[in-house]
Structure 1
Amino acid sequence: MSTHSIVRPGLTTAIIGHLPAIKLRLRKKVPQLTFQDVRRSRIPFYEALASELYESGCVNAAFLLLQLIEYEHDRVPPTSDQSIEKKRLKNSKKLLNNLFTSLQETENYKIKKQYENEVENLLAIGRSFQEDKHKRWLARQFFLISLDRCQDCTLESTRVGALANYYYGMFLLEEGNLQDAASVLESAKSQAVRQTWPLDHGIGATLLANEIHHRLFLVYSKLAEQFGATNSAKFEFYSRLSHAAAIDSNLEPVLCDSYLQYGDFLLDRGEYREALNSYKQSLKRAKFIFAKDKVCKINNRMAAIYRRLGETKECIHHLQMINRLTVHDKTSECYAEMQLLNGEIHLENGQLQEAVDALDMARVVYEQLGKDLKMIQASCFGALAAGEKHFGLFVQLVRDVEARGFSSDNDSLFKLLRWNEKSAPFW
């Protein structure tokens, strides 16, 4: 094919701002080109691919490719980072080649009226762009196109209809758009109710309905966390919704997390026996899935409850269990929690030196882990335990801090309890 024979209907026009004109020209007869022809006539690569898609009968794919490039130009601002700019759709041959192949396959399904395969392909394309933060806009487009195609082809009551809502709901969850994520996932739940559709086609795939409930658990947990300090009614509402979703998921790791989280919710409400029952359910599942860190954490929670209930024997039993679990790792948060609880118990029993030792060990670990609030808590109890010996210094420090700011402020309290530049506790 000579260079002169490829004077095509205007496809050498830059796409930006000329999308209608390029679409019009694509509708005319455009010969297919070899890569050598494209290079020789300096035709932009994306134009050549759009032309090839159009000529092969994939008209929608050709136009979609052009529209995506236009969308990126309009909505994704340019950067000064050339490594990012090279990955723009119109500049990246790798991305364009992959998209070309996927779009061509997808449109062929559409032509054959295999609409479920078409939607699955669209979802797969969207998912392939999720990990790259600069390409998540592409993922969103394909998820929305998938949902549109489900409506066009009345696929809402099928597996792919639920799948489209599931993946778009996950996307919204990752974006932090929690209310919309909950709404979309609730739609997926209603579509998949009482169905045994697998999430994937592979052997041993989990049920789609279970995974939908798993994501709902995550969404409602985040919503509960969001309202935890500001709206007690909504906090309770979303806490109960998240736990109900976890139970419906029937997934052991999810149930383990949820019973632990729900136990914390009940503990804060002072419902100790109910919290214990929830922790026991979590512990059973933590052992089943070999989650040692969770086993340790749950034992800590249960020991704390038995202490509040005055059941000393049970409390000691759980503390001994934690000690065995952390005997070879004295740098974990679980070990710090155990020492914090030990320190509180010694302090209550008047064993001041033992309390100081335990609380100091907790403080050191929390400091290493960057858990400032817990470190301050350990420091406060340590200060109380060492109060008799250092009472005069403590009073002077309080006065010094109050002269500079509110002693109730964590930052001021932090300064109060760390009396020299080496950050050593005053006791």
Structure 2
Amino acid sequence: MSEPTAPATREAPWPVGLMSQKIRDWIERLGTVWVEGEITQWQVRGGHVYGKLKDLSQDATVSFTIWQSVARGLTGDFAQGDRVIALVKPNFWVKGGSLTMQVFELSHVGIGELLERLERLRKQLQAEGLFDAERKRPLPFLPGLIGLVTGRDSDAEKDVVRNATLRWPGVRFKIHYSAVQGDRAAAEVAAGIRALDADPEVEVIIVARGGGDFQHLLPFSDEGVLRAAAEATTPIVSAIGHEADRPLLDEVADLRASTPTDAAKRVVPDVGEELAGIDGARSRMSSRLGHLLAHETDRIAQLRSRPSMQQPERIVDERAEELVRWIARGTELVDRAVEERDRTILELRARLTTLSPQGTLDRGYAIAQLADGSVLRDPADAPAGAALSLSLAGGRVAATSDGVAS
């Protein structure tokens, strides 16, 4: 059945489907358009987003749909109440007869856009490690020269200098004045950080401002300022003085101070507190030393109260008597041992004398030896005329054998 082309009349009306298709075809020819409004409804179902967008000044609202493929590419976080701009294309749903806007791009406007841009920068710097705690440098205990980046004649300058001087009268400052809001602020603050960092006498740098609204604090979230702070070799203290909207410099700096006054307290020690600490340490040392000396004195007194320390000669006398007894005992034992050995020697001498050849000779016997020195034991060994040598008790005599006696 061909589609009717004649205008609809009472006698020849169009079907609802035909009318809906013609509306859809006409709407599709409109193409895409940028619109601005406030999100009044934001629901996520199955990865798709369904919501409503309200006009900022009139009572007009349209529905919108963000398909999952587009929703995954959104760079910001969106919620009810956000002011946004969107690239939309009208889409008429024939089956339900409803009109909705298909969203292709969506971004915040005004403050929301700035927050979105700052959030992207935050994520980028965080991914680079500029917020890591490991890269935070400790502050010197008592800096000899403090660098200060702040506005000329500002309350922040007065607060830092006054409170630091009250805490430590000898503290010195090198101040770099810069704009702290407006178009020139970011470049001048970054230049101040680099100039003070290049000075070898500056030991710590304070970037101070006395608070302000969100837009006035934007220079302290500028990427140029953040890069300068991250590249500095001198410790950086951020003292912007704003709690609600913390600028990104607070994250990059080595120390965040809540106010310029707090920065002075964190950077410079209090001379009164330090002197009190020294007095306390001296008092604790004196007390500890006093207890130690008293303890050692008591130990010496206890040692001196012992009998051996009161009458030391008593030990010598007791040992002397004991030594005399041992000497007498030793002498007695030695004499007895010598006497026993003398008797033993006499007995052995008597036995030796009795058993020796000399004893036999002394009793009147003689030993006959042949000419070759051998002892004569058998008369047959000494025929007549054989020369003999007789050993007697008194000496030796020569003799001649007459042969065997009959």
TM-score range, shorter chain: under 0.3
The structure whose RCO (Cα within 8 Å, separation 6+) is larger is 2
CA radius of gyration, larger in: 2
More helix by share: 1
TM-score, with normalisation over the residues of structure 2? 0.23
TM-score, with normalisation over the residues of structure 1? 0.23
